[in-house]
Amino acid sequence: MSHKAFELAEIVVRYGSTLAVDSVSLSSAPGRLTALLGPNGAGKSSLLSVLSTASKPESGTVHIFGNDVRTAPTLARAQLGLVFQERTLDKELTVEQNLWFHARLFGMRRADAAEQIDRLLAMLELTEYRRTAVERLSGGTARRVEVVRALLHRPGLLILDEPTTGLDPHSRRVVWRDLLRMRDELGVTTFYSTHYMDEAEFADEIVIMANGRIGRSGSPVDLKDELHAACVRLRTSDDTAAAEHLLTQGFDVVRGFEELEIRCAEPDRRVADIVRAVGVPVLSITVHQPSMDDVYIAATTLIAEERS
């Protein structure tokens, strides 16, 4: 029987009278990337803290590859690799010394640790830095070393809290190249929080939280499709007449302040049909596909409205 990589069931976290996480349930099959989005105060850090076993929930259960963190904490933690938002490498030590220190903490045999250090540094193209002091590394390279360290003891689940905060665009791109390789080549399951919508697009599943609850979850494609916000935007010489023509031919038309929106699936393929049906001269036409920004705003707005 194969286990889920992680499974959170009805997790509740409180800080005094503040309900930080409100009965959240979430799971992932092995080998998948899950992104966690949400505004500050949404409960993301609290949920990550519970999954990483750094804190205990008020109620609910946590399983990591089938191991209950309450009854089998050692087995559960052995499957975890953690990369925190704050830098945690010892700056005065070299890259290799940091990795050896981690290997000793996890009780790895010397030959096994040496093999893993060589293998992961080579895989992430970091071998040239192995004897470099961490304080001399760029922020992006140091972050990649932290990923190597987190994977050194062969965990099945990698948890990252805002992994690219403070990095320049090139460094962010390289970090994500590495993380995707970890999934594709090593089968590592990854759960990460981020404020960057473009980073959420890398995920197999996106989870959007607000006010301690999950507003939406699903693949990037499915979340966008659920909005039903794909449309063709049209400006004509007579929008009133154009709207009437389009409505009579079965198009879903919304009148905006300066343009018409014709909502439809696969709008790229409907442009020619719309131009033929509009009946008046067209001044401009554009295709709009919903973005992750649209999904995020819709999900967080929905939770806010339910709470008000």
Give residue-wise pLDDT tens across range 80-98.
Answer: 999 988 888 999 999 999 9
Residue 303 belongs to some domain of the structure? no
pLDDT of residue 302: 72
pLDDT of residue 92: 93
Q: Mean pLDDT, to the nearest integer, of 68-89? A: 93
Residue 262 belongs to some domain of the structure? yes
Q: Mean pLDDT, to the nearest integer, of 247-260? A: 90
Residue 304 belongs to some domain of the structure? no
Contacts of 29 (CB under 8 A, 6+ apart): 4, 5, 189
Whole-structure pTM value: 0.85
pLDDT of residue 75: 95
pLDDT of residue 175: 93
As a whole number of angstroms, the distance between CA 136 and CA 174 comes to 18
As a whole number of angstroms, the distance between CA 166 and CA 175 comes to 12
- Please, which pLDDT band fits residue 2 given cuts at 50, 70 and 90? low
As a whole number of angstroms, the distance between CA 308 and CA 300 comes to 13
Residue ending a domain, choose from 198, 224, 250: 224
Residue 296 belongs to some domain of the structure? no
pLDDT of residue 308: 56
pLDDT of residue 150: 96
Contacts of 115 (CB under 8 A, 6+ apart): none
Neighbouring C-alpha atoms within 13 Å toward the C-beta of 138: 13
Residue 246 belongs to some domain of the structure? yes
Task: Assess whether pLDDT exceeds 80 at residue 307.
Answer: no
Q: Is the dihedral of CA 128, 133, 138, 143 positive or negative?
A: positive
Give the chain's domain count. Answer: 2
- Please, which pLDDT band fits residue 257 given cuts at 50, 70 and 90? confident
Residue 305 belongs to some domain of the structure? no
Phi, psi at residue 63, to the nearest 5°?
-125, 135
One domain for residues 139 and 241: no
- Please, which pLDDT band fits residue 31 given cuts at 50, 70 and 90? very high
Residue 245's Cβ-count burial label (10 Å; 0-12, 13-18, 19+) is middle
Given a contact cutoff of 8 angstroms between Cβ atoms, the answer to whether 204 and 184 are in contact is: no
Residue 308 belongs to some domain of the structure? no
Nearest to 304 by CA among 44, 41, 48: 41
One domain for residues 271 and 220: no
Residue 114 belongs to some domain of the structure? yes
The string of pLDDT tens digits covering residues 135-172 is: 999 999 999 999 999 999 999 999 999 999 889 999 99
Q: Which domain holds residue 167?
A: 6-224
pLDDT of residue 23: 95
- Average pLDDT across the chain, whole number: 92
Task: Assess whether pLDDT exceeds 60 at residue 286.
Answer: yes
pLDDT of residue 134: 96
pLDDT of residue 234: 93
**For position 114, which CATH number holds?**
3.40.50.300
Angle between helices 139-151 and 169-186 (to 10 degrees): 20
As a whole number of angstroms, the distance between CA 288 and CA 233 comes to 7
One domain for residues 182 and 281: no
One domain for residues 243 and 151: no
